[in-house]
Amino acid sequence: MEKNPFREFRSLAPYLRPYRVRYILGFFFLITVDIAQMLIPQCVRRAVDLMAAGGFIWKDILFISLSMLGIAAVISGGRFLWRYFIHGASRRIEMEIRNRLFEHLLTLSYDFYQENKIGDLMARATNDINAIRMAIGWGFVALIDGTVMALSILIIMFAEDARTSLLAILPLPFITILILCFGRAVGKRFRRAQETYSAMSNAIQETFAGIRVVKSFVKEGWFIKKFADTNDDYREANMAMVRLFGGFFPLISLLSGLTTLILLLSGGRRVVEGAMSPGVLVALFSYLQMLIWPIMGAGFTVNMIQRGAVSLGRINEIFRTLPGIRSPEMTDAGTVKGACPEKSSGEIVIRVKNLSFSYPSSGSSDRKALSGVNLEIRRGDIIGILGKTGSGKSTLLKALVRLIDPPPESVFVDGLDVRSWELSDLRASFGMALQDSYLFSDSIKNNVLYGAEEDIPPASIPALLDRIAASAALDTDLGSFGGGWETLVGERGLTLSGGQKQRVSIGRALIRHPRILILDDAFSAVDAETERRILNSLLESRKGKTTILVSHRVSTLCHADRVLVLDGGKLSEEGTPGELLERGGFYARTAALQRLAEGSVTGE
């Protein structure tokens, strides 16, 4: 059984509550406008009856005209005020939902973003939240306005002439049935339209994010066709809505016109018979025309509220998603269980005990990313990690900082299980520079400062940047950048070379002076001389602090105190670089092949 989408509106209560006074005032002025609008036909009725009776004086007509002018002023002022209060509140609620959605998305774990496409998330944060705003703005207005207007008009019409009014509104039940059927059809079609919009947004995002690949492989035509297909799906989904509206509103207009015809025939006969005054017939015509808006508006109301309900459901799907990796639960005293020390006096900084891990998407429990890994890393150690692609290096690093959740009692930092750490404290202990260096569309300075503590004194920033420039070998490039530190990089660092991006990323990791530094193949795009300079600086500046070097280059790993070799998720070798060379294992074979490759390049 399909879930009722309108139940989703209950989740809006916390947002609506702070603005209840605004909504109450808005609805007050809205109802005031409705009452004022219903007074105008009465003024017209009096004027027509006076003129039909003859012998009227212009003073009476002038008084009626001035009364109508005053009513029009009330209507104008009331419309401004209800728009100010209701639409102002709906805009603020829209802003709060979007802020909360963004904050919630940042709490979700890494696996959430692997399962959900960015284009879809962007569509929900824009199109869907806009539909919610329309529902709690125009939708609520149309609902209240239509209900008050329809009931009031019907009461007045029956008070004026019950028999004629009853005949005139006979088609209205059919309109009600149409509206109910229309609402159900709108919900299904609108969900389809939102889903195709998400697919189109995702196609755009992927194309522009990978524009280098698109142009390098001359695939512009393929991506144009892909976008055209998703755009066509979006058009077709919206055309399904257009066809629905195209049939609905003409049919409503036909039934509304039928009410006017009935009123003309029955009301005109009663005027001829003297049972009704001409002014009453004109007033009934005015009220009947006013009644068409609530009837037509009911379709808009159902449409907007149905769209809002569907969109709210899509937003609530994200809000109901909890982070797969969370900090420990709070105790009754309000403190975190297993609160973490800022620093540890122990010599063992990292301990891994029989760590085994499989990704849920691996398809087979026999295929483990890590299997029975045991290791200890002491304070001040420089640890190298070597292994083939897919050997488990990145998985091990993710387990250290809980980007994936290792089994309980398998990974310890400063003597505490990483699952007992407050996530922010655990990750603040690490500084990471990865092979795929992500830079933000900002200046080089700000990209480096993203890694700094928030309370860094502004006066110390220039000296700090100079130190980082030397440590990350950025000083040789800053002069070639047009704006120095203030040089703007393109999206994802598009205007920088691969080596420059990696050095900015290294600088971002170094600026926080972390207790544990992880360089995950962070020198892959850096030339040998620059790499040697950075490593010499690191060895000097990080004495007493722990550093983990992941690399495929033996020349990088030879600076390590110990090297760990991973193979098929298992720790196959461990020892100093010299010991591993003597054993003749994977490390030694890799070193020999790289020396042979270097010799062939230099012609030796």
- pLDDT over 90 for what percent of the chain? 22
Domains of the chain, residue spans: 11-319, 348-361+368-428+551-604
The predicted model gives 523-540 an average pLDDT of 84
Distance between CA atoms of 506 and 522, rounded to whole angstroms? 7
pLDDT class for 296, splitting at 50, 70, 90? low
Q: 251-263: buried (b, 16+ CB within 10 Å) or exposed (e) per residue?
A: ebeebbeebeebb
DSSP 491: G
Question: For position 385, what pLDDT does the model report?
Answer: 93
Question: For position 334, what pLDDT does the model report?
Answer: 40
Tokens found for residue 178: 């149409």
The three state secondary structure string of 565-590 is EEECCEEEEEECHHHHHHHCCHHHHH
- On the 0-12 / 13-18 / 19+ scale of CB atoms within 10 A, 23 is buried
Continuous H helices in 108-171: 110-115, 118-123, 129-134, 140-160, 162-168
Predicted confidence (pLDDT) per residue in 323-336, tens digit:
888 888 644 444 44
Predicted confidence (pLDDT) per residue in 382-411, tens digit:
999 998 888 889 899 999 999 888 999 999
Question: For position 352, what pLDDT does the model report?
Answer: 93
Q: Is the pLDDT of residue 576 over 50?
A: yes
Q: Which residue has the tokens 């530190």?
A: 485
Q: Which residue has the tokens 């939240």?
A: 129
Contacts with 432 (C-beta within 8 Å, 6 or more apart), sequence order: 397, 401, 509, 517, 518, 519, 520
The predicted model gives 14-25 an average pLDDT of 93
Distance between CA atoms of 158 and 164, rounded to whole angstroms? 8
The predicted model gives 29-41 an average pLDDT of 92
Which residue in 160, 145, 139 sits closest to 27, CA to CA? 145
Q: Is the pLDDT of residue 215 over 80?
A: no
Listing DSSP states for 374-409 in one string gives EEEEETT-EEEEEE-TTSSHHHHHHHHTTSS-PPTT
Question: Cβ–Cβ contacts within 10 Å for residue 298, how many?
Answer: 23
pLDDT class for 180, splitting at 50, 70, 90? low
At the fourth CATH level, the homologous superfamily of domain 11-319 is ABC transporter type 1, transmembrane domain (1.20.1560.10)
Residue 450 vs residue 182, higher pLDDT: 450
Question: For position 177, what pLDDT does the model report?
Answer: 73
Furthest CA-CA distance within the chain = 124
Q: 335-367: buried (b, 16+ CB within 10 Å) or exposed (e) per residue?
A: eeeeebeeebeeeebbbbbebebbeeeeeeeee
Distance between CA atoms of 563 and 384, rounded to whole angstroms? 4
Q: How far apart, in Å, do the first and last CA atoms of the chain sit?
A: 75
pLDDT class for 343, splitting at 50, 70, 90? very low
The pTM of the full predicted model, rounded to 2 decimals, is 0.75
Contact 263, 160 (CB under 8 A): no
Contact 429, 413 (CB under 8 A): yes
Distance between CA atoms of 490 and 494, rounded to whole angstroms? 5
The predicted model gives 20-49 an average pLDDT of 91
Q: Which residue has the tokens 């309980």?
A: 408
- pLDDT over 70 for what percent of the chain? 90
The CATH number of the domain covering residues in 348-361+368-428+551-604: 3.40.50.300
Q: Is the pLDDT of residue 601 over 50?
A: no
- What one-letter code names the amino acid at 149? M
Question: For position 400, what pLDDT does the model report?
Answer: 92
- Altogether, the residues listed in the chain come to a count of 604
Q: Is the pLDDT of residue 210 over 80?
A: no
Q: Of 40-54, 117-131, 340-354, where does mean pLDDT reach its minimum? A: 340-354
Distance between CA atoms of 525 and 503, rounded to whole angstroms? 9
Q: Is the pLDDT of residue 342 over 70?
A: no
Q: Is the pLDDT of residue 193 over 70?
A: yes
In three-state secondary structure terms, 109 is coil
Q: Look over the chain and give the mean of its residue pLDDT values, rounded to a whole number.
A: 83
List beta partners, residue 563.
384, 575
Which residue in 37, 30, 29, 62 sits closest to 283, CA to CA? 37
- On the 0-12 / 13-18 / 19+ scale of CB atoms within 10 A, 578 is exposed
Question: For position 351, what pLDDT does the model report?
Answer: 93
Distance between CA atoms of 203 and 318, rounded to whole angstroms? 21
* Highest-scoring range by mean pLDDT, 2-6, 92-96, 360-364, 368-372: 92-96
DSSP 30: H
Question: For position 153, what pLDDT does the model report?
Answer: 87
Task: Give the Cα-Cα-Cα angle 188, 194, 195 (nearest 5 degrees).
Answer: 90
Would 11-319 and 348-361+368-428+551-604 be classified into the same CATH topology?
Answer: no
Distance between CA atoms of 597 and 603, rounded to whole angstroms? 10
Residue 270 vs residue 336, higher pLDDT: 270
Distance between CA atoms of 551 and 519, rounded to whole angstroms? 8
Q: Of 168-177, 353-362, 500-509, 539-548, where does mean pLDDT reach its minimum? A: 168-177
Question: Cβ–Cβ contacts within 10 Å for residue 385, how many?
Answer: 26
Which residue in 356, 351, 370, 354 sits closest to 413, CA to CA? 351
The predicted model gives 342-351 an average pLDDT of 68
Q: Is the pLDDT of residue 543 over 90?
A: no
Question: For position 6, what pLDDT does the model report?
Answer: 67
Contact 283, 41 (CB under 8 A): yes
The predicted model gives 464-489 an average pLDDT of 82
